[in-house]
Copies of this chain bind each other. A is one copy, B any other.
Amino acid sequence: MVARAAGVSRATVSRVVNGSPKVRPDLIASVSEAVERLHYVPNRAARSLVSRRTGAIALVVPEDVSRFFGDPFFAAIVQGITRRLDTSDYVLNLLVASSDPEHKTVRYLSQGSVDGALVISHHTGDALSTPSRIPVVYGGRPAPEMEDEAYFVDVDNLGGGEAATGRLIDLGRRRIGSITGPPDMTAGIDRLEGFRRAMDAAGLPADAVEAGDFTVVGAVAAMRRLLERETEIDGLFVASDLMAVGAISVLRESGRRIPEDVAVVGFDDSPAAISGEIPLTTVRQPSTEMGFTMADALIRLLAGEADVPRHNILPTSLVVRASA
């Protein structure tokens, strides 16, 4: 080790570099000086070989990146994560999880290449099948079978669905329908559950429900199906803004006015909410904060903190615009 030019042993250099408290001030000074002068940078591999820590955490995202990276919600999560990491010594490893269980990702995670992992779970099946021995924090409520033991951060989809539906009810709407997400995505499930609770509480039937898939075209189809069954609909809760856009186009096509004939509430408060002709009333979710909180929880877990909450549900809020 070159920095021994400071006239001390490698051990002392190591202590100084790692900020050990028991080093004489004058030594720490001369070592620092030598480090500076020689542009010494500790080798990460050697360090993690002995310390058994890598200083890296993985961000595991589902395979269809296309959807995820373009998705503003996901973008905000990543932003929140990087913001938290910025004031830490961890770096982020981006892993695109394949459905193939024997994929690189799994091997990588068990390779001890990262100290912990953040996994964005949207579909129920996404949750890391191979249980690794490193701490994992999920983004989004994972599958029910892991829900209790797992650490996760989620937005209050249930409360959001309830608030959205409540808005429709407060508006005096009585025949309220809903276009939901696919049945294997917990976010969609929870939003629907919120819808049901609000309807139940108001003594209204929660049966005008059709499943979408969080895309515009899926929503168009779902809306058409719904309209065939229920011509009297006067209120609609759609599980995402993008789907709301699709639903609204069908509604208008059928001659209905928004919000006069049918009041519509979306979910996400994405750019799509204000890009259409009629500004969407929707539910805002704290996405950046979600990413930040996920990273924070993982870092605390890695620091050995014992009282890290397993479940963290971030509040959502209703944003009233023109559609309802």
Contacts and interface: CB of A to CB of B under 8 A. Distances in A.
Interface of A: 39, 41-46, 48-49, 54, 56, 59, 65-66, 69-70, 72, 74-76, 78-79, 82, 86, 89, 91-96, 98, 104, 107-108, 110-113, 271, 275, 277
A138 B107 CA distance: 29
In the complex this chain forms, how many copies of it are found? 2
A271 B216 CA distance: 13
A143 to B, nearest CB: 24
Nearest to A58: B91
Contact of A66 (B44, B79, B277): B79
A69 B65 contact: no
B49 A65 contact: no
Nearest to A53: B45
Contacts of A108: 91
A43 B91 contact: no
Contact of A78 (B69, B79, B271, B277): B69
A86 B75 contact: no
Contacts of A78: 65, 69, 94
A94 B96 contact: no
A91 B91 contact: no
27 contacts: A39-B110, A41-B107, A41-B111, A42-B111, A43-B49, A44-B111, A44-B112, A45-B45, A45-B46, A45-B54, A45-B112, A49-B49, A69-B76, A70-B75, A70-B271, A82-B96, A86-B98, A89-B104, A91-B93, A91-B104, A91-B108, A92-B95, A93-B93, A93-B94, A94-B94, A275-B275, A277-B277
